[in-house]
Amino acid sequence: MRGQSVLAVVTAAAAMGVAACGSSSTSGGNPSGPVTLTVAVVDNPQLTDLQAMTTSVYEKMHSNVTVKFVTLTEDTLRQAVTQDVASHAGKYDVVAVGPYDVSSAYAPNGWLVDLQPFLNGDPSYNVSDLISGIANSLKHKGDLYALPVYGESSFVMYRKDMFQAAGLTMPQNPTWDQIAAFAKTLNNPSQGVAGICLRGVNGWGENLAALDTVINAFGGSWFDSSWNAQLTSSADTSAVNFYVNLVRQYGEPGAANDGFTECNNAYNQGKAAMWYDATVGASNLTGTAATNSGYAYAPIENTSLAHTGWLWSWALAVESASKNATAAEQFITWATSQQYIQAIAQDMGASHIPPGTRTSTYSLPTYQQIASAYAPLVLTSINDADISRCCVNPVPYSGIQYVGIPQFETLGDQVSQQIQSAIAGTESVAQALQTSQSLAQTVGNSLKG
């Protein structure tokens, strides 16, 4: 299993004292001669755009620098990067990481370069322009260890034409009960239209990303303040039953195999009336889905938790083992700068501007023109997301759609497999949660005290 092998690497590396290898931001010297940067990234539209812009713009600006991209799926990327940084192999110079990776192991173990000294010497980067919640999620002990390519929360996208035809009105702050009622009304299998599209595929960054926000909304959590597992609590049980029943009754066919990409495609093709997922999804809408969509905040349920949207970004970091750290730092500051945003708007169009990273983006007239329907909700959702307070009751971890501990990569994948089975109908929710509770309690026991 992917998570088990990665955790084994993390544990072995920590035992060998890999962190002692250092993380100086000045290694690699001034890149005056030929330099080849190897950059490991996830396969999504924003990082695909970055590859094109690197070829057409960056390499022409820096004729001595060649950037070689290695593009991987999310699961494969995290496994490959974790193995590389933990063993200090230096196969990659720059790696795509998220808040979980930075905070749970990579930065604390010294596997990434501390970017703060480099940024302090480059006022043109304008760190203060980074959206604070996104920037803070990529910090360790107050210093930035990664720079965001794009940022996101989660919200509801819905077809206004379908709602109007059914005489329905979506509130800006819906409850999950309202979402379920809309999905029931709009579900039309004979016409190939699902009431809602939700993630069901295995992966802690897949079905659990959406489900965890539902658990939080229902007043649940993974652990209580003493690291006692809560997955069979009444709140968690209610939330998981709700999610599984919603997607099984009114969701897309084959939901157990669907993630972000599959739901994006289904929604764009008019095969789903609603889609609850990452706010970046709004940037990926096409055709009538783009022109006929409305947007609403992540649904709530327990009124004690007013904001339930997740917080995530794909960001670029420099491996501490890189032999080209200075060149790598120069590259990632360009790739996440205001200048990059201006360049991509000019070369590829405003629809390609990466969202959720800089406050100034939301003041650009060209971006307001193409994103006016959703940009305010995206910015508010990101600003309202607080990874230090995910849940109604106090918990000992950070993270909204993840638990910010190294063990979660294994635990999350194991639990997500149980949820996938429940969605597929191969086991009951009660069975899935009982198995998940046992797995979580083993981790909780290891963290007590």
The domain of 366 spans 2-145+312-382
pTM of the model: 0.90
Please give the tally of structural domains in the chain: 2
Three-state SS at 315: strand
Hey, CA dihedral for 347, 61, 77, 222, is it positive or negative? Answer: negative
Check whether 14 has a pLDDT greater than 70.
Answer: no
Check whether 336 has a pLDDT greater than 80.
Answer: yes
Low-confidence winner among 24-33, 39-48, 260-269 (lowest mean pLDDT): 24-33
Write the DSSP string, 256-271. GG--HHHHHHHHHTT-
Give mean pLDDT, residues 218-232: 98
317: CATH: 3.40.190.10
424 contacts: CB under 8 Å, gap ≥ 6? 200, 256
Give tens-digit pLDDT for 363-407: 999 999 999 999 999 999 999 999 999 999 999 999 999 999 999
Q: Could you tell me if 41 and 127 lie in one domain? A: yes
Q: Could you tell me if 139 and 172 lie in one domain? A: no
287 contacts: CB under 8 Å, gap ≥ 6? 268
Q: Could you tell me if 227 and 259 lie in one domain? A: yes
Confidence of residue 60 (pLDDT cuts 50, 70, 90): very high
44 contacts: CB under 8 Å, gap ≥ 6? 314
Q: What is the pLDDT of residue 191?
A: 97
Q: What is the pLDDT of residue 31?
A: 59
Q: Could you tell me if 370 and 435 lie in one domain? A: no
Provide the phi-psi class of 110: left if phi over 0, else alpha when psi is between -120 and 50, else beta: left
Q: Could you tell me if 92 and 186 lie in one domain? A: no
Q: What is the pLDDT of residue 302?
A: 80
Check whether 12 has a pLDDT greater than 60.
Answer: no
Q: Could you tell me if 262 and 163 lie in one domain? A: yes
Element of type H or E holding 86: helix 74-87
Q: Could you tell me if 42 and 163 lie in one domain? A: no
Q: Could you tell me if 288 and 162 lie in one domain? A: yes
Kind of pairing, strands 35-42 and 94-97?
parallel
Q: Could you tell me if 130 and 55 lie in one domain? A: yes
Residue 81 domain-assigned? yes
Residue 82 domain-assigned? yes
Kind of pairing, strands 139-140 and 147-152?
unpaired
Q: Look over the chain and give the mean of its residue pLDDT values, rounded to a whole number.
A: 92
Q: Could you tell me if 159 and 220 lie in one domain? A: yes
